């Protein structure tokens, strides 16, 4: 446990609590010189008879035999348990003010004010109702001055049959009481509103500064609750908004739940504390008192009856919170010490108000709102210090970043220079590669042209040999045909002479020369026929080989293609090799006949060239 923090917190509390006792006895809700006590107050227990219109029977009220009980006051502590409805008769002393009014504070739970048989004011409902939340309400009822000396009748109704009455009753000057209330309560009202909006704005500010959401929510809950409670507990709240139930709800939420935000905020700032006490406190407070607030809202209980218990509970929480904070290392930093001062102020001022409400110390007024205000100021100081620290860090970081930026710029300049050099090398290399590619392309084109020419020459040479062979093959039968034609012509002339010289055909047939020439003519005609057939076969083979009209894919006879190739190459084959053909019975084949014939010719030529010795 941190003894330095403990002693510091206890010293602050010891300094604050004696100072609170110097304020003197707590004053009434307005200044005492404005109060004029009634000359007499009497009560009638139970309801009064009513007339035909539902109003009190004033004839009955004024009868001497009606039992009115004289009482010193009508505070809730002087009534019997079980009374739920009473009438109060208030007889004024000599009233000399020009604008008399009846001052009422702490109404349990609803009231009707009658004067001169007229209803002057009704506050709350004269039956069980959720709206009967008036025990913190200040009411000044104007009384007509002409008949101000006449008694005033109060009709009181209690929500529960164990507490009924009015805490304070007095005659006052309406204008003077208003001025006194404004002077004494305006600061508190303004402070409550400022605390409320300061908490709201600080929460937004902290969230925009990217603080932890739980930290922001706890701080906002604390300040919003304190602001609501301070504003709702001001006696001039009805001047701002005359809705008692609204102010009761605000005061209840603020007073019973502000410790949750406070302890949670302390936890998120300094940690869970010694043995996690701080975290346990706000969770325990929330679990116990949030259901109580809800039960009060639905009118099942009245939290004002638990006020003493709650105040002792708060005193215990404050003591445990001091122990919890003492277990942290918050005193090791200046910001931590400032925060601890703020926490001590809030805790001390809150403890003062608790002891004040319990009548354990003497003081003139409650000061929790001042504690919350100074706590916000100290927190703003911490935020400012943090902001300055962050600015300094940012400036240092900015300087470091600027130095690194300059170094980076220098590095970028060098990189740019290296990049330009590299790009120039790449461009030169690309130009060289382009030039070499162009040279290679030209060389390749030349090689392709040379190859094409070589292939063409080879083809021309092959074609020349083929043509020479075909020409030779054609010339041989042509020579034979020519020779046979010459011999046949001579035979025809001899036969023609023999016919002219012979007188008788029978003798001509017996002529041996005639028969010789006829046989010779027949032989030469046969030779010419064979030579023509040979030429026809060679031409047909040549046509089959070329097949210019059959370039498309079609069915072809392989036997004919091979025979055509053999016929065309007969000149190359007959003196070198012997060709044996044996064809199987195969069907027509789908092919390009012209290209296939070229294949056959090339194969046969290659075979002949591969056997120079024949075979």
Per-residue pLDDT reduced to its tens digit, 93-106: 877 788 888 888 87
pLDDT of residue 183: 82
Residue 303 and residue 270 share a domain: yes
21: pLDDT strictly greater than 50 = no
Domain boundary among 322, 356, 389: 389
pLDDT of residue 79: 65
Residue 115 and residue 87 share a domain: yes
Residue 274 lies in a domain: yes
Per cent of the chain over pLDDT 70 is: 79
Residue 481 lies in a domain: no
pLDDT of residue 328: 63
pLDDT of residue 252: 86
pLDDT-based confidence at residue 137 (cuts at 50, 70, 90): confident
Pairwise CA distance, residues 6 & 322, whole Å: 7
411: pLDDT strictly greater than 50 = yes
pLDDT of residue 135: 64
pLDDT of residue 77: 63
91: pLDDT strictly greater than 80 = yes
Pairwise CA distance, residues 357 & 352, whole Å: 9
Q: Mean pLDDT for the chain?
A: 76
Residues 6+ apart with CB under 8 A from 367: 20, 349, 352, 353
Residue 20 lies in a domain: no
Residue 294 and residue 210 share a domain: yes
pLDDT of residue 453: 82
Question: CB–CB of 195/376 below 8 Å?
Answer: yes
pLDDT of residue 550: 52
Q: Longest C-alpha distance within the chain, in Å?
A: 208
Residue 532 lies in a domain: no
**Over 490-503, what HEC string results?**
HHHHHHHHHHHHCC
> Containing domain of residue 329, as a range?
185-389
386: pLDDT strictly greater than 80 = no
378: pLDDT strictly greater than 70 = yes
Residue 194 and residue 102 share a domain: no
Domain boundary among 350, 370, 389: 389
Question: CB–CB of 88/154 below 8 Å?
Answer: yes
320: pLDDT strictly greater than 70 = yes
Stretch 230-250: mean pLDDT: 81
Would you state the structure tokens that stand for residue 126, as one six-digit string?
Answer: 């004269």
475: pLDDT strictly greater than 60 = yes
Would you state the structure tokens that stand for residue 30, as one six-digit string?
Answer: 């307005």
Residue 230 and residue 368 share a domain: yes
List, for residues 25-62, the tens digit of each pLDDT value: 333 444 566 788 888 888 888 777 777 776 777 777 77
List, for residues 497-542, the tens digit of each pLDDT value: 777 777 666 767 777 777 777 887 788 788 888 888 878 877 777 7
Residue 313 lies in a domain: yes
pLDDT-based confidence at residue 13 (cuts at 50, 70, 90): very low
Residue 137 lies in a domain: yes
DSSP code, position 96: -
Residue 320 and residue 210 share a domain: yes
List, for residues 195-225, the tens digit of each pLDDT value: 888 778 877 776 676 666 777 788 788 888 8
pLDDT of residue 1: 41
Identify the weakest region by mean pLDDT among 143-147, 357-361, 412-416, 449-453: 357-361
Closest CA to 89 of 169, 173, 174, 157: 169
Residue 44 and residue 176 share a domain: yes
pLDDT of residue 492: 83
Place of tokens 């293609």: 561
**Over 398-425, what HEC string results?**
HHHHHHHHHHHHHHHHHHHHHHHHHHHH
Number of domains in the chain: 3
436: pLDDT strictly greater than 70 = yes
Higher pLDDT, 47 or 173: 173
Residue 201 and residue 72 share a domain: no
495: pLDDT strictly greater than 70 = yes
Residue 196 and residue 47 share a domain: no
23: pLDDT strictly greater than 70 = no
CA 179 to chain centre: 56
Residue 191 and residue 175 share a domain: no
Residue 217 and residue 142 share a domain: no
List, for residues 116-132, the tens digit of each pLDDT value: 888 888 888 877 776 67
CATH number for the domain including 176? Answer: 2.60.120.260
CATH number for the domain including 589? Answer: 3.30.565.10
pLDDT-based confidence at residue 462 (cuts at 50, 70, 90): low
329: pLDDT strictly greater than 60 = no
Residue 268 lies in a domain: yes
pLDDT-based confidence at residue 18 (cuts at 50, 70, 90): very low
pLDDT of residue 266: 78
List, for residues 334-371, the tens digit of each pLDDT value: 666 766 777 777 777 777 777 776 667 776 677 766 77
Stretch 459-464: mean pLDDT: 66
Question: CB–CB of 111/155 below 8 Å?
Answer: yes
Question: CB–CB of 189/240 below 8 Å?
Answer: yes
Pairwise CA distance, residues 128 & 124, whole Å: 10
179: pLDDT strictly greater than 80 = yes
Residue 303 lies in a domain: yes
What are the Cα distances from residue 169, in Å, to 37, 92, 159, 177, 300? 8, 11, 20, 13, 28
List, for residues 557-575, the tens digit of each pLDDT value: 878 778 877 777 776 776 6
Beta strands 100-108 and 69-70 are unpaired
Domain boundary among 181, 209, 240: 181
Residue 189 and residue 177 share a domain: no
pLDDT of residue 545: 64
| Secondary element (H or E) of residue 155 | strand 152-157
């Amino acid at each position: 446990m941190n003894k330095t923090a403990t002693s510091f917190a206890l010293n602050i509390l010891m300094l604050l609590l004696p100072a609170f006792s110097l304020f003197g006895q707590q004053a009434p809700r307005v200044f005492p010189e404005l109060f004029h006590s009634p000359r007499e107050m009497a009560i009638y227990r139970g309801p009064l008879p009513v007339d035909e219109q539902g109003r009190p029977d004033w004839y009955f009220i004024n009868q001497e035999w009606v039992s009115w009980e004289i009482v010193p006051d009508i505070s809730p502590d002087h009534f019997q348990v079980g009374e739920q409805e009473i009438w109060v008769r208030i007889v004024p002393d000599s009233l000399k003010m020009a604008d008399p009014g009846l001052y009422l504070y702490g109404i349990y739970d609803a009231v009707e004010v009658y004067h001169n048989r007229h209803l002057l004011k009704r506050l709350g409902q004269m039956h069980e109702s959720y709206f009967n939340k008036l025990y913190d309400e200040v009411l000044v009822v104007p009384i007509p001055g002409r008949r101000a000396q006449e008694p005033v009748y109060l009709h009181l109704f209690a929500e529960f049959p164990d507490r009924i009455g009015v805490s304070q009753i007095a005659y006052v000057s309406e204008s003077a009481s208003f001025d006194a209330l404004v002077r004494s309560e305006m600061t508190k009202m303004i402070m409550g509103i400022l605390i409320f909006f300061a908490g709201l704005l600080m929460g937004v500010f902290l969230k925009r500064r990217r603080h932890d959401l739980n930290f922001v929510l706890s701080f906002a809950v604390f300040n919003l609750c304190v602001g609501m409670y301070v504003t709702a507990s001001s006696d001039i709240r009805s001047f701002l908004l005359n809705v008692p139930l609204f102010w009761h709800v605000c005061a209840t939420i603020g007073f019973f739940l502000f410790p949750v935000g406070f302890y949670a905020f302390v936890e998120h700032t300094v940690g869970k504390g010694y043995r996690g006490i701080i975290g346990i406190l706000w969770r325990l407070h929330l679990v116990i008192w949030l259901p109580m607030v809800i039960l009060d809202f639905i009118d099942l209980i009245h939290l004002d009856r638990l006020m003493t218990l709650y105040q002792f509970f708060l005193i215990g929480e404050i003591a445990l919170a001091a122990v919890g904070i003492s277990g942290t290392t918050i005193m090791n930093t200046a910001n931590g010490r400032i925060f601890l001062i703020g926490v001590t102020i809030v805790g001390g001022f809150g403890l003062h108000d608790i002891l004040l409400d319990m009548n354990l110390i003497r003081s003139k007024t409650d000061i929790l709102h001042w504690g919350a205000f100074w706590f916000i100021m100290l927190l703003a100081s911490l935020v400012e210090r943090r902001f300055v620290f962050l600015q300094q860090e940012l400036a240092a970081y900015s300087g470091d970043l600027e130095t690194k930026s300059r170094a980076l710029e220098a590095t970028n300049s060098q990189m740019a220079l290296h990049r330009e050099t590299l790009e120039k090398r790449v461009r030169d290399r690309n130009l060289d590669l382009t030039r070499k590619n162009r040279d290679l392309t030209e060389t390749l084109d030349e090689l392709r042209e040379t190859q094409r020419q070589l292939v063409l020459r080879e083809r021309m040479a092959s074609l020349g040999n083929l043509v020479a062979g075909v020409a030779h093959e054609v010339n041989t039968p042509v020579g034979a045909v020519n020779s046979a034609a010459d011999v046949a012509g001579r035979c025809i002339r001899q036969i023609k002479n023999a016919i002219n010289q012979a007188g008788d055909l029978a003798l001509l047939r017996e002529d041996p020369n005639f028969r010789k020439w006829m046989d010779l003519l027949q032989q030469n005609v046969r030779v010419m026929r064979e030579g023509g057939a040979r030429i026809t076969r060679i031409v047909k083979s040549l046509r089959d080989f070329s097949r210019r009209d059959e370039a498309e894919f079609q069915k072809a006879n392989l036997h004919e293609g091979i025979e055509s190739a053999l016929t065309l190459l007969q000149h190359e084959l007959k003196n070198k090799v012997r060709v044996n053909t044996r064809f199987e019975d195969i069907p027509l084949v789908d092919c390009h006949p012209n290209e296939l014939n070229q294949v056959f010719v090339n194969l046969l030529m290659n075979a002949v060239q591969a056997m120079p010795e024949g075979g």
